[in-house]
Structure 1
Amino acid sequence: MAVDSQKALECEAAEWAVAMDRGLTPDERISLDLWLAGDPRRQGALVRAQAVWAAAVGAAHLKSAPRRRIGRRGVLAGGLAASVAVLVGAGVQFVRGQNVRTVRGEVRRFPMADGSEAVMNSQTQLVVRYSEAQRRIDLRAGEAWFDVAKDAGRPFVVATSTATVTAVGTAFSVREIGDSTEVVVSEGTVRIRGEGDSRDMLLSEGGSLRLDKRKPMQRSQLDPGRIRRRLAWRDGLIMLDGETLSEAAAEFNQYGSRPIRVAPEIAERRVVGVFRILDAEGFARANAELLSTRIEVHDHEILLGSMTGS
């Protein structure tokens, strides 16, 4: 196994060790279970990371450094500065001034240096640069959801190729799709400025906005159920409520190594259900049975419906 691969594994395990120390939410427990199930090496890495963290916390107590918590779901900080220093040497990457990526099929949750939390979707790249004046994240590809710790003196800015999104203390997702940017606000309000625009637009809780270099702006208001479905990927889920089979297949194809191909004659059929993001085969089999249609499962792809002439 490559050194870089091992380092990435140990970093992820260390981040989970920190999160487990502060206490996992029900959603985080699901994400941790999915992470552990994805690679048999991860259990051992997590045990090692917990041992390092326990030793670091013990060292902090010996120095009479009190522990405190920052933000709604923030990282341990303040008196644990010494512990953080120990963990950095062990492979923890607190997100500050660095390039962070996820691979296909990976949904990664981690605490950020200021007490904010980020969750990255499959095949996402963030470049994080913190300064005394600003907390800036460049979203180069993919999608991420941010739960921002309040800091009026340092705006939290997410920049894409087509827009900048600014928040002080709120929760929102940003998705980079080719030449367009989609923002969904799950809590609070953000300011959005499109490329070349001179004015900010405000987007509040439940709001969705899509900016495209070649198309008119698309703005809508989502009810809580739609927001929950839209952000279900954070918990390793795909929640479908009337999407077409072709749209649903495209969602699964973001994650799995075996893409689903849907026959044209059933591509517009509507789908309802909740599935694991890595269970493309289960999704395809369930719909093949529902529609009484053919399914072929191969090593490199899954064919749903008749593929005559393909």
Structure 2
Amino acid sequence: MSSTTSQTDGQQRKEDAARWVALTDERTLLPDEQEQLDNWLQADTRNLGAFVRAKSIYHALDYRSSQHMTAAPVPTPSQPLSRRHFLTAACAAGVATLVTPKAITEYFSLRHRGRQAPQRYQWHGNQIIVDARSGAYFSSTQHHDAILIADGRIGLQIQRRLLHVTVGTMWFGSKKADFDISVKGSEVMVSLYSGTLNWKSHDKSSKFTSPNIILFSQGSKNTPVLVNKKILPDDDAFTRKAWRNGQIIMNNYTLTEAVNEFNRYSDVQCLIVSPNLGQRRLSGSFSLLKVQDFVQAASILLRCKTRQEKNKIFFYS
């Protein structure tokens, strides 16, 4: 019964999101409509995720032929982000106001739904790396930039301009820092490599210094909780940042951990048939886009067998 209810709620959420996206694209919302949208977005983080997905699909259909939509994969030279590259003036003001209440001068969205290499951009002197299957909204005022992250993983190198980052009911701010934010369900992980981050929620605030890994949970009521904070060693930081350049550095990874990472980037999906193989460990460095190289090496290192059928590769004893 609960599964059926969950599916029904999810479908209703998608329909509501599609309706709001179509309405905001058609015209400027009336004050009461804007208030309804704001309340709906803030009522549940899943509403925001559905809205971002609907918005990105809507604009992908509208602008698929635009040459400005193309993003250079890492490690090609960074390219600038600008309003005209991604969205028209119909981008949802409701989401932007959640990021910052001041007058917005620029806004756009990025969503990399496909399995692809991380994409690297320059935005007002700061560098942004967007991982596969990630989504976020970006907005600017005269004084600072802001990002609202819906899901996935985004790397940020803040060097020139104040940046605010919103994740659910949490807010991060910095003038100079290098960090990754990973959002997976209610779990939010921040890998702070250098600089400092200010953190706020509706009733708490703190300041984090580098290098640290900070883990938050949004909880059942979207109330952020600091779960854990630990020092990030230099070697671990180097390994964690490898994804930005389309690499994976495995240091005693389980096969399950490695497979989950590769499956983000390839249409060919790896599956572990023999349960005992999942916890076997291996180390090495690979391109995230060359799954066949990984499969061949893993079969040798773990002394297991592999078999490919169409777009699936099976690992078995």
Give TM-score scaled by structure 1 length.
Answer: 0.68
Distance change (3 Å), C-alpha of 1:239 and 1:132: same
1:205 match: 210
Q: Which residue of 1 aligns with 2:111?
A: 101
Quote the Cα distance in structure 1 between the aligned partners of 2:310 and 2:106. 40
Counterpart-to-counterpart distance in 2, 1:75 and 1:291:
43
| Pair 1:193–1:243, CA change in 2 (3 A) | farther
Q: Could you list the per-position Cα deviations for residues 151-204 of structure 1 after superposition, in whole angstroms to 9, with x for gaps in the alignment?
A: 4xxx4111112522111111111111111111111110111235x4x2322222
- Higher alpha-carbon deviation: 257-266 or 232-241: 257-266
CA pair 125-96 structure 1, distance change in 2 beyond 3 A: farther
Cα deviation 1:60-94 (Å, max 9, x = unaligned): xxxxxxxxxxxxx9969xxxxxxx89xx5xx588x
Where 2:64 maps in the other structure, the secondary structure is: helix
Does residue 177 (structure 1) correspond to residue 184 (structure 2)? The answer is yes
Report the equivalent of 1:125.
Answer: 135
AA aligned opposite 1:275: F
Find the counterpart in structure 2 of residue 295 from structure 1: 306
Partner amino acid, structure 2, of 1:175: S
Q: Do the aligned partners of 1:162 and 1:179 also contact (CA within 8 Å) in 2?
A: no
Matched residues in 2 for 1:74 and 1:206: separation?
Answer: 28
1:12 matched residue in structure 2? 70
Q: What is the CA RMSD across the aligned residues, in angstroms?
A: 2.8
Structure 2: state its 5+ residue gaps.
Answer: 1-60, 88-104, 220-224
Q: Which residue of 1 aligns with 2:165?
A: 158
Give the C-alpha shift of residue 5 in structure 1.
2.9
Question: Is 1:284 matched with 2:295?
Answer: yes
One-letter code of the match for 1:232?
A: A
Please state if 1:193 is matched with 2:203: no
Q: Secondary structure at the match of 1:257?
A: coil
Equivalents in 2 of 1:122, 1:201: separation in Å? Answer: 30
| 2:284 match | 273
Deviation, 1:148, is 1.1
Task: Assess, with a 3 A threshold, how the Cα gap between structure 1 residues 249 and 3 changes in structure 2: closer, same or farther.
Answer: same
Matches within 5 A, 1:79-118: 96-102=106-112, 103-112=114-123, 114-118=124-128
